[in-house]
A and B are shown apart, each in its own frame.
Chain A
Amino acid sequence: MFAPLALQGRLAVAALVAVLLVLPLVWHDTYVLHLIILSMVFGAFAVAWNFTTGYAGLKTFGHHAFFGIGAYFSALISKNFEITPWLTTPAAGLVAAAAGLVVALPVLRIRSVPHVAMVTLGFAEIVRVLLTVFRETTRGEMGLWGIPAYDGFTIPGLGEVVFNAAEKVPYYYLAAFLFLGSVYAVVRMVKSPVGLALVAIRDSQDAAESLGINLTRYKLLAFATSAFLVGLLGAFYAHYILLLTPSSVLGLDLMILVIGMTLIGGVGTLFGPILGAFVMTIGVEAMRGIGEYRMLIYGALIVAVVMFMPRGLVALLDGLGPRFGFGRGVRMATADDAKTG
């Protein structure tokens, strides 16, 4: 997994990026652009979550807390203090990273997976309840609105760039920047000594520690990086959708959606969560006509993939020939796997 992608793989990635960047210039359908913007936001979210869970082996189920913290922080600060979202968005990433460190400290002391799941989930619930309770500031479930959009600017020669609901293209490119930037950051980390240390820790903490690897330092780094990216995405989401409720950005269904995307696409692979996010975001939208039943279909799909295609949809890409290497990567391994044989 630490070998670079083969040439065909690089070309395929370049082609996909090119399609992503050219698409809004040729396809002006705002609804389609909206779906791709959401796919990119959730795709990056899934990649960031997969980084802690699939690679670092920190099985957290409360990452939506960082999305909500980023969203509300950026929305409230920009709205109430009239600070441009261009500044509050990166600040929201930092605040989420700080929150990530606060949660990670107790989590790192726990070795039991169910307990880690409960602590992280509990943290997200606390944040959600707090945002609901302080309704003078957040308006609770009534919804926080009046969130400023990103300020427009002029690109010499191209004209004015305006961020508003009707004009999706600037949002599209900002989302693409965040998406590609997040994926690039995670890929660089995974394919670096940090990635080697994290996978080693995931496969055997005791062995990794016996080789001089400082468990706490690497786990905190993974957690904070992931929380930073998710907080950034949450802030973008706030200034894009312009309406926040605690249940929309901090509900458990958001986390389940992201977990589902990762499982369906392929956990512990680089490309899987992205594939899962696009398939699911667009798929769930396509099923909008059938109302609440779509979550049922969604759930059934997760179960089906987990049972019949445990490696996820990326396994299908192997059919294109192993030379692409998209499906390659590290699957979830458990301590038991390591002990057998």
Chain B
Amino acid sequence: MTTSEDILAVEGIGIRFGGLVAVNDVSFTVRRGEVFGLLGPNGAGKTTLFHLIAGALRPTTGRIRFEGRDVTGMRPDQRSRLGIARTFQITQPFAELTVEENVMAAALVRHRSLAEMRHAAGPYVDMVGLAHKRHELAKSLSTGQRKRLELARAMATGPRLLLLDEVTGGVDQASIPGLIDLVDRLRETGVTLILVEHNMRVIMRLSNRMMFLNRGEKLAEGTPEAISSHPDVVNLYLGQPHA
């Protein structure tokens, strides 16, 4: 079923933590240039699935292909160099480095000198709207600014696939629209996005296609409209207070 239009093919992926099957036999493909939304209740396995795609966790079963290449056995840094980037649900800034240095670290692989890295980092710092914080230590940033920093870092690796884990999660209401606009602009750069997002309106608006995950299993896949009216999604997710 895999075609050259597909940038990512996940085939029967699964992982268990002791007795808990966190992701169970999940298969899907993501097409180049689309925004693929990942929806599911707390503990559904969304972040775990990101860890599997990015290489931070090794699956117990299944394979992952990126641009036709089997990356299942590769380390996260190898997958990053191939073009897979990610942000973290709980942000992971380099606390003692400045905003600019954080983004420079993302340019380490492709540049030789600090001056070149600084030069390469600049546009990404500007793009996410942190130019005024350029020389501030990352630990001084608010949660929303940390999310922006992670977007800048991830984009500075020059990815073709970007995994965004709850860009608006834990961020104050006032900062959310700005972050969503930013994700919209990322999409225009042509990078393929996989979004995890609890805000139903947001994910429906941004995604071309969606997948619904529950207790580690894929229950539905389709257009945002199809997903939002799917009986399982309505039962298990939309009935819940956070929708």
Contact = CB atoms under 8 A, between A and B. Distances in A.
The size class of the interface chain A forms with chain B is 20 to 34
A213 B77 contact: yes
B80 A212 contact: yes
B108 A212 contact: yes
A203 B77 contact: no
Interface stretch (B58-66, B111-119, B177-185): B111-119
B86 interface: yes
B104 A196 contact: yes
B94 A203 contact: yes
The size class of the interface chain B forms with chain A is 35 or more
A331 B97 CA distance: 10
A212 B139 contact: no
Interface string B173-216: 00000000000000000000000000000000000000000000
Nearest to A338: B95
Contacts of B109: 211-213
A208 B95 contact: no
A102 B154 CA distance: 34
A3 B12 CA distance: 49
Contacts of B139: 333, 337-338, 341
Interface in A174-198: 191-193, 196-197
A204 B150 CA distance: 12
B97 A207 contact: no
A289 to B, nearest CB: 42
Contacts of B143: 341
Contacts of A208: 94, 105
A206 interface: yes
A213 B108 contact: yes
Contacts of B169: none
Contact of B56 (A196, A209, A339): A209
B90 A330 contact: no
B106 interface: yes
A233 to B, nearest CB: 28
A200 B105 contact: yes
Closest 3 CB pairs of A and B: A212-B80, A207-B92, A203-B94
Interface of A: 1-2, 191-193, 196-197, 199-200, 202-204, 206-215, 330-331, 333, 337-339, 341
